[in-house]
Chain A
């Protein structure tokens, strides 16, 4: 139990976005965050990252509130990958990955061997070692997300938060990216749209609806026809290729025409 949100709420423009949500991802596991648009997935991730502060409740890292730890200390422990990152600056792959060392470095000092090692390891882990000189704006969507994950790994985090990282990718790159994420030795929380990807790659799921947690547990327990109907308003069948396999969702149509 390292990162934990305890009954956090958050309003935006008088509107309750998150309403008393608690989650405690198991160390080293992949937790999938599911829910329709506007259910509060991104807001919850931003609270977990410390970018937003909760109006009530508290987010803790090793039992200490994020606010007390300070941004820099948090960034040395916890890394974030956004849905889609972009920049107007001309950056190489190596430039971007090195940004991951920002929280570890002091002003006026050159990079230490530890910095170089972390960058090297992150590049190796993501298979980017031979592409360090490529320019960011020449990369495909899948390559960009891979570079962002390498940047996050260069932070040497123990927690990794990803907000719909596969959104703009084709299916091969989606599978590729989530395989990479699932193999990382860190505690991961990932917001996902695709229920089947969530079933394939997550150890546990948290389902949000209108800012509240409506289900938690293993994909096996959570992904039921009833829950999908209730949360997404969609008719679906859930099947397994073999008994004991991960569930597979097949959509049949909407329940209420909108």
Chain B
């Protein structure tokens, strides 16, 4: 809150420029030899409705494979990071994120039930199943935490309990009902993967992200007011129950959309908000856009690493985020450590 608005704009614009450059460069990296110029001409051709000057195969690699995948990485990174930032502030818990609150594991269970058991009779897609699972698990978290006394640590504890429940359900379904091939596919998805990204996923997730981010930004100053706890927020004129309901539902829906497209990518929501806070301070008007851009850039590069590091073998992007995320998290905590009082 100490820095001025122009500084915020500067950060966001710089970040967006870095994001655009990251996306353009990330697309060029991979087995097929493609340059930034090729990316540009393919995008320009498709947006301008003209024929691409590239060969159909190269054009297809850019437009149908790498571009949607990279854009989905950006959208997922931004969305997960924003979810984490909002949940951490709202629940006053630095460990809160969509995974800790059980939303992602619910989504995973939903997807597994559709894939392995064939539930939904073909009407419900994998994404649809994930979406239903996310909403169900989150409803259970809210109900359970409400029953246990709706304090913020209870929400986190309820989330952890529900997360364990759904992880167990997922393992149970996979181990009892799936054949080896299906199991491998499901596990890959559970660890988070952007390999199946298509334009439908991109547009759906982008639409949900834009809506959710707008709502959260509208609540930016309300989130600031939670710094000293719920009672302090209430005496600053915040209707605590309504704010919590609105923002937790918004973040759950956003998580559901992201997980149903890209699987359970961990650690982005937990780590990126802490890193962004170190840059911007705690004011949410600046924190939320910067977190979003930082999450997007982060996941674009992590996914690039995941699909190229062990080429032709692909590593689930969730594995890489955790491998990078854990040391980064320790570093952030170390830098912001305080002398014991």
Give the residues in chain B near A87, CB-CB below 8 Å. 92, 227-229
Within B231-254, the residues touching A (CB, 8 Å) are 231-232, 234-239
Stretch at the interface among B125-133, B135-143, B214-222, B311-319: B214-222
Q: Which residue of A lies closest to B222 (CB)?
A: A102
Cβ of B237 and Cβ of A72 under 8 Å apart?
Answer: yes
27 A-B residue pairs with Cβ-Cβ distance under 8 Å, sorted by A, are: A50-B235, A71-B234, A72-B237, A75-B236, A82-B232, A85-B228, A85-B229, A86-B228, A87-B92, A87-B227, A87-B228, A89-B282, A91-B1, A91-B282, A92-B1, A92-B2, A94-B2, A95-B224, A95-B281, A98-B1, A99-B225, A99-B227, A99-B228, A100-B236, A103-B237, A108-B217, A132-B2
Chain A min CB distance to B123 (Å): 40
Shortest CB-to-CB span from A89 to chain B, Å, is 4
Q: Does B325 interact with chain A (Cβ within 8 Å)?
A: no
Whether A71 lies near B237 (C-beta < 8 A) is yes
Chain A residues with CB below 8 A from B239, complex form: 71
Contact, CB under 8 Å: B235 / A49: yes
- By a CB distance below 8 angstroms, the chain A residues around B235 are 49-51, 75, 78-80
Also in contact, A102 and B238, with CB within 8 A (given A95-B281, A95-B283, A137-B338): yes
| Interface members, chain A 75-117 (any B CB < 8 Å) | 75-76, 78-80, 82, 85-92, 94-96, 98-100, 102-103, 105, 107-108, 110
Q: Mark A48-86, 1 if CB is under 8 A from B, else 0.
A: 011100000000000000000001111110111010011
Q: How far is the CA of A72 from the CA of B232 in the complex (A)?
A: 13
Known contacts being A90-B277, A90-B281, is A71 close to B238, with CB within 8 Å? yes
> Which 4 A/B pairs are nearest by Cβ-Cβ distance?
A75-B237, A103-B237, A72-B237, A80-B235
Q: Which of B48-93 contact A (CB under 8 A)?
A: 89, 92
B236 touches A102 (CB 8 A): yes
Q: Are B1 and A88 in contact (CB under 8 A)?
A: no
Instruction: Give the B-binding residues of A (Cβ under 8 A).
Output: 46, 49-51, 71-76, 78-80, 82, 85-92, 94-96, 98-100, 102-103, 105, 107-108, 110, 132-133, 137, 155
Number of A-B contacts (CB under 8 A): 88
In the bound complex, residues from chain B placing their C-beta under 8 Å from that of A72 are 237
Given known A82-B232, A102-B237, contact A91–B222 (CB-CB < 8 A): no
Q: Within the complex, what minimum Cβ distance (angstroms) separates A83 from chain B? A: 11
Q: Could you tell me which residues of chain B, from 144 to 173, have a CB within 8 Å of some CB in chain A?
A: none
Find chain A residues with CB under 8 A from B327 CB.
none
Collect the chain A residues with CB atoms within 8 Å of residue B236's CB. Answer: 75, 99-100, 102-103, 155
Chain A CB within 10 Å, residue with most, of B89, B221, B222: B221
Task: Determine whether B5 belongs to the interface, using a CB cutoff of 8 Å to chain A.
Answer: yes
| Cβ B227 vs Cβ A91 within 8 A | yes
B35 at interface by CB-CB < 8 Å: no
CB distance from B219 to the nearest CB of A (A): 7
Most chain A beta-carbon contacts within 10 A, residue among B219, B227, B237:
B237
Our pick among A100, A107, A155 for the contact of B218 (Cβ within 8 Å) is A107
Query: Nearest Cβ in chain B — how far from A14, in angstroms?
Result: 16
Cβ of B336 within 8 Å of any chain A Cβ, yes or no, is yes
Q: Indicate if B94 sits at the interface (CB-CB under 8 A).
A: yes
* B227 surroundings in chain A (CB, below 8 A): 87, 89, 91, 96, 99
Complex Cα gap A137–B224 (Å): 17
Chain B residues contacting A79 (CB-CB under 8 Å) are: 235
Shortest Cβ distance from B104 into chain A, in angstroms?
24
- Which of B89, B222, B232, B338 gathers most chain A CB within 10 Å? B232
**B236, closest chain A residue (CB):** A102
Please determine whether B283 and A102 come into contact, CB atoms closer than 8 angstroms: no
Q: Which residues of A contact B1 (CB under 8 A)?
A: 91-92, 94-95, 98
A103 nearest CB neighbor, chain B only: B237
Answer whether A90 and B282 are a contact pair too, CB < 8 Å, given A51-B231, A107-B221. yes
B278 — nearest CB in chain A belongs to which residue?
A90
Contacts of B222 in A (CB 8 A): 102, 107
Within the assembled complex, what's the spacing in Å between the Cα atoms of A155 and B225?
13
Determine if A99 and B224 form an interchain contact, defined as CB atoms under 8 angstroms apart.
yes
Contacts of B282 in A (CB 8 A): 89-91, 95
Contact with B237, one of A76, A96, A107 (Cβ below 8 angstroms)? A76
Task: Enumerate chain B residues within 8 angstroms of A107, measured Cβ to Cβ.
Answer: 218-222
Would you call A74 and B237 a contact (CB within 8 A)? Answer: yes
- Chain B residues 84-132 with CB under 8 Å of chain A are 89, 92, 94
Chain A, Cβ-Cβ closest to B338: A137
Contacts of A88 in B (CB 8 A): 92, 94
Given contacts A73-B237, A89-B277, 9 further A-B contacts (CB under 8 A): A46-B231, A51-B235, A78-B235, A87-B92, A87-B229, A89-B227, A92-B281, A99-B236, A133-B2
B-chain residues with CB within 8 Å of residue A155 when the two chains form the complex:
236
B2–A95 contact, CB under 8 A?
yes
- Alpha-carbon distance A28/B238, docked complex (angstroms): 26
Chain A contacts for B218, CB-based, 8 A: 107-108
The distance from the CB of B341 to the nearest CB of chain A, in whole angstroms, is 8
Q: In the complex, which residues of chain B have a beta carbon less than 8 angstroms from the beta carbon of A89? A: 89, 227, 277, 282
- Residues of A contacting B338 in the complex (Cβ-Cβ under 8 angstroms): 137
CB-CB under 8 A from A105, the residues of chain B are 221
Who on chain A is nearest to B220 by CB? Answer: A107
Q: Quick one: closest A residue to B283, CB to CB?
A: A95
Closest A-chain residue to B336, C-beta based?
A: A90
Q: How far is the CA of A110 from the CA of B338 in the complex (A)?
A: 32
A86 to B282, CA, bound (A): 15
